[in-house]
Amino acid sequence: MTDSTWTAASVLLVALLAVPALGAVVVAVLPARRDRQARIVATGFAAVTFALSIVPFFAGDRARGWFAYGGLRPTVPLQPWVNLDLPWVPALGLRFHLGVDGVSYPLVVLTGLLTLLCCAYTVRKVPKGGGSGRTLSALLLILEVGVLGTFLSLDLILFFVFFEVVLLPMYAVIAGWGGTERRAAARKFVLYTLFGSVLLLLGVVLAVTKAGTGDLITLTGASGLTRTTQCVVFALLAVAFAVKAPLWPLHTWLPDAHTEAPTVGSVILAGVLLKMGTYGLIRVGVGVAPLGAAWAAPVLGVLAVIAILAGSLICLRQRDLKRLIAYSSVGHMGFVLLGIATLTVTGLQAALLGNVAHGLITGLLFFLAGTIKDRAGTGSLDQLSGLRETAPRLAGLFGFAAIASLGLPGLAGFWGEAFAVVAAVERGGPLWVTLAVLAAVGGALTAAYFLRLLRRLTHGPTTPTVHSLRPSIAAVEWFAWTPLILLTLAVGVVPALVLSETALPLTTLLGGHP
């Protein structure tokens, strides 16, 4: 299906990419002496992009994929709410195909929100050791273009291009404004990501060559690919996306990157960049190579559970605040990957909800951890104790984020982890039931290390470092944290905010019908 007609809805898709790109250019050309004004301008462009990211839910034709067929089994591939399909490189058959549906929409909104909060955060404070705040803000907007393009792309080649756009800006953010070992961490990030990129390119080229098209709507279900081709394609894509997710044992770049990255870099990295891997595994891996996904599902399930257990056990021994939160991401993304590995609608919904919850909660955790580290001058847990005595509001907020991350019912972190386990049980068989039990044990270990963290950080005798810590919370910090707190509560109480429009597209991705 091609749709080259320009409508208000299709212009919206271009605007979602054009506004942050234009913002990055405007901010970059502003004079260096107007650094603070440039950061304010970047925040304005990010705010416009966030507002645009919400619009597809209201402007798009959400009935297109279901009610258009009278609620019966669809006879044509599922169509996005908002669609733009134009020639890009006609000689090679490449198309500029963008779209939004229930699978990508929550991640598009999450990207817009976190970029806005990070840009606003830089207005008050620019990390030391790097360049200007103007440059940092421009890089954040370029990152937004790459991430949004990845979630919007419905052409495999276009998907690959946007997937790669984020590499150099993220490297620059870590290497330019990170900690003392920032350059080594940035190089490690690039090397791992480039390794994944090579495999992703091979998988994409193989799929496009064998199918004769790169259109993801046409490729969904992979009717034109043999089982052998699908297995090879999925293996290449799975390893590539596992690097970005990251999945054990390809996760070792993540703790170093998080530990050395500035606060806004850690928030963007955990909040949206990791989601590119899991989203790609769902949209491209499962969608393009469903037979390959079924073939590799047991291995993915085993690796996911290893990630859950290994991440939790490593966290129990961590003595650095940001490093602990980084390793917790390995465990949380393990639950997401377990849900994907079940290849059920319940499991994929758990993965999507886990993605959004992780972005909200871990984004909040890194904001708070960065604030604590900046004010205390250290992230060592040996020197951070008694926070509730000197900064009770900061301690309370961190306690809320930690409890949300450990999966307390009623908060966003609960649903994704719980239903990943439920999906594994529903899948049935000795292997999947065993994986479900081990994942549940990993959930208990998650609670253990977060409670241990709270005992060390907020309770106990006040250390000299914490005693001198400034307790007040600035207005821009409240601005950055409050939306994440409210959304963590809202998604925890009403998970349908994320899941309401996902059943049909996920069923179609799995090759079935409602």
Predicted pLDDT of residue 356:
92
First to last CA, the chain: 22
Predicted pLDDT of residue 223:
65
Task: Enumerate residues 6+ apart whose C-beta is below 8 A from 261.
Answer: 173, 174, 177, 178, 179, 182, 185, 269
pLDDT digits (tens, 9 = 90+) for 150-186: 999 988 999 999 998 888 898 888 888 877 788 888 8
What are the residue ranges in the chain where pLDDT is below 50?
Answer: 1-4, 64-76, 513-514
Token duo for residue 292: 């390959």
Predicted pLDDT of residue 512:
54
CA 194 to chain centre: 19
Under DSSP, the state recorded for 463 is: P
Rounded distance, CA 483 to CA 478, Å?
A: 9
Task: Count other Cβ atoms within 10 Å, centred on residue 506.
Answer: 25
Predicted pLDDT of residue 108:
93
| Neighbouring-strand partners of residue 320 | 380
Predicted pLDDT of residue 24:
92
Rounded distance, CA 472 to CA 10, Å?
A: 45
Predicted pLDDT of residue 252:
81
CA 120 to chain centre: 20
Rounded distance, CA 179 to CA 184, Å?
A: 10
CA 116 to chain centre: 15
Rounded distance, CA 45 to CA 385, Å?
A: 39
Under DSSP, the state recorded for 385 is: -
Predicted pLDDT of residue 5:
54
Rounded to 5°, angle at Cα 275 from 436 and 99 = 120
Nearest to 161 by CA among 248, 95, 245, 66: 95
Token duo for residue 287: 């969608």
Rounded distance, CA 214 to CA 154, Å?
A: 8
Predicted pLDDT of residue 115:
93
For residue 122, the surrounding DSSP H or E stretch is helix 105-124
Predicted pLDDT of residue 385:
78
* Residue linked to tokens 């999507």: 352
Predicted pLDDT of residue 109:
93
pLDDT digits (tens, 9 = 90+) for 313-371: 988 888 888 889 888 888 888 999 999 999 888 899 999 999 999 999 999 999 998 88
Nearest to 264 by CA among 174, 380, 331, 324: 174
- Helix, strand or coil for residue 94? strand
- Helix, strand or coil for residue 83? strand
Residues 123/40, Cβ–Cβ less than 8 Å: yes
- Model pTM score: 0.90
Predicted pLDDT of residue 6:
60
Rounded distance, CA 359 to CA 68, Å?
A: 33
Predicted pLDDT of residue 77:
53
For residue 82, the surrounding DSSP H or E stretch is strand 82-89
